[in-house]
Structure 1
Amino acid sequence: MRFFEHQENARAQTLRLLALFALTVIALVLAVNGALALTWRVVSPAWAGYPAYFFSVNTGVTLLFVLGGWWLETSSLQGGGARLARRAGAREAWPASRLPEQRLCNIVSELAIAASMKPPQVMVLPREDSINAFAAGWSERDAVVAVTQGALDKLSRDELQGLLAHEFSHLCEGDTRLNMRLAGMVFGLEMVFGLGRSLCAADEHGRRSLLALPGLAIMATGSLGWLAGRALKAAVSRQREFLADARAVQFTRSKDGLGGVLRKVAGEQARATRQLGGHAPELHPAVQHMLLVSAARQQRWFASHPPLAERIRRIYGRPMAALSPQSGDEDAATRPAALF
């Protein structure tokens, strides 16, 4: 894997997508102004121009909702990564009493030294049997790495190291902070749509006010901005996953570390899909976009993670068979379960 080339490509793609995100906000402001200007001309019987500060007020209110929604959403995520991890059902690791968790803490300490950063708090999701993990936090001071019990039980040491190296990349590159800020901005775009919908809402007698027409214009433009924001946020998330995969290979100098993890997840998901009638189990919605692998069923444009087969192909340079998850003490060359 040419991991440096993959990293630079992912960073360049991220910058382009963030520029598009900023342009989306600008386009939303212009679209709201245009829609309200057209609405004013339609409802004004003897149109003689726009009221004073018409466009300034429209712009200010739109930005107030976008930035206000961003502030509300990011404020709800304050409290550090540990608070978010606990919402997802995680607890602190117990290295003194559990050997797998001692191994987990040792690997975290090793990677922190290699990355020249303060070790994040180590947490475990004890009720999750699937292989997964996530990193959260605004900075190194409140950073957390949480690993599922399934990862502790089913991964070898090299594979667990590859998984944690992926999460360390998110912390080193500031992806956790970026994801939370983009989530706030998308919520702000959604609030513009919500404003238009509230103006269009009928009262208890089924009647709508005169504000329904401008509300319809705001709702139409707001929905386009919200959908574009969601799609761009998901696209940024996918590029950061590719970047974290490449950084993990760089950290560990091994394709089979993270590659083995993703192949075991592929086998695990295939088995869960067969057993559960097409629905793999999902973790808490608050951390879905932060996970190593998301099981959430999403349309391609709004998927926060790239397809597993594509991630595995990039790591190995060719399609690879899925692996049947077994004990973490067994050899990584577990019997193939399926072929991508």
Structure 2
Amino acid sequence: MSRIRRDPRAALLAVTVATRPRLRIDRAHRGDGLRADPAPSAIAETPPRRIAIADPAYLVFAVADVPGGTLTRHDRQVLGAARLLDGGNQAAVVLVAPHTDEDVGALGADRTLPGARNVSYDPEGVAAAIAAAIAHHRPRHVLFPESADGGDLARRVAALLDEPLFDSVENLSARVAIRPATARRLEWRAAPSRLMTIAPDMIAPYRGSPHDAAPLDAPVPNPESRCILNAERVAVDAADIPLDEAALVIAAGNGVTDFAGFLELALALGATPGASRVVCDAGHLPRRLQVGASGTVLNADCYVAFGISGAPQHLQGIGQVEHVIAVNTDLHAAMIARAELAIVADAQAIMPALLDALESRR
């Protein structure tokens, strides 16, 4: 009988928190990702076994932002942090989020709490709903993402419950939570508190066996009074969003000649336009749109490069971008190597084809 061997690539993936702008590995959070892999024949014949915790010793809430109905990378890291507090599958991790079509059980959720948040802008109502769920289910820990919305929500819930909040946790275990202090010169260590926020790109997502993700009942609060009587999200023209705040950026390089068509495509996609240094030096687009180390460093979710070869300074400017798409005729361009999806074609021919496809959908 052959001995089961560990896959080193799977072991590395299990402890990888982020790959860009630089590789970050957290070997303290090994979880189930470093278990010995089954034999190849077992992988082909046996579906992944889902872990079901019928009678948990306690609950751990993981509150997610879920913008646009999709879990963000930060949300997945919050679920990974919650799994570190489960006491070896003795507790159930509860994902507190609006409905999503994703398989949240594969991300480590034992339960889901639907309806505890709603998609409209109602911070008081959302905080009251989560506070009511906490009072009803009495979880041992409640984790939030330390993001613009998640951090605000965590502080509202802490105020409603009159409990302390341990924020910006960067290292977490069942015994200790660690956050930076005094401008990152020191570390503040404490036992994991009930309410905590998780800093981005510090704790790896869960990559172990999938869990059951069964629904959990959510109590509906009825707050007596609210300070915010009416609020709505106002649409912003993507062209007016600063590059360092944009979520979707498309950029033109030396392979683009029709800049009016490029700006029309950016408007149709709802994307913020950008440019390489060559384009800005030639005066085709304003200098404020320049992407790169000598221009603007992006923190976007997606970046689409049309006709950009990928100079080192430009690649430095997109180091933190999660998804990169490149359109270039040069198969060996540095931007093609950096891209998650590469289209080897003339950018000037792809742009009108995209516009036609968008028009046909409308």
Question: 1 or 2, which has the higher strand percentage?
Answer: 2
Shorter-chain TM-score tier? under 0.3
TM-score using structure 2 length: 0.22
Greater relative contact order (Cα 8 A, min sep 6): structure 1 or 2?
A: 1
Question: 1 or 2, which has the higher helix percentage?
Answer: 1
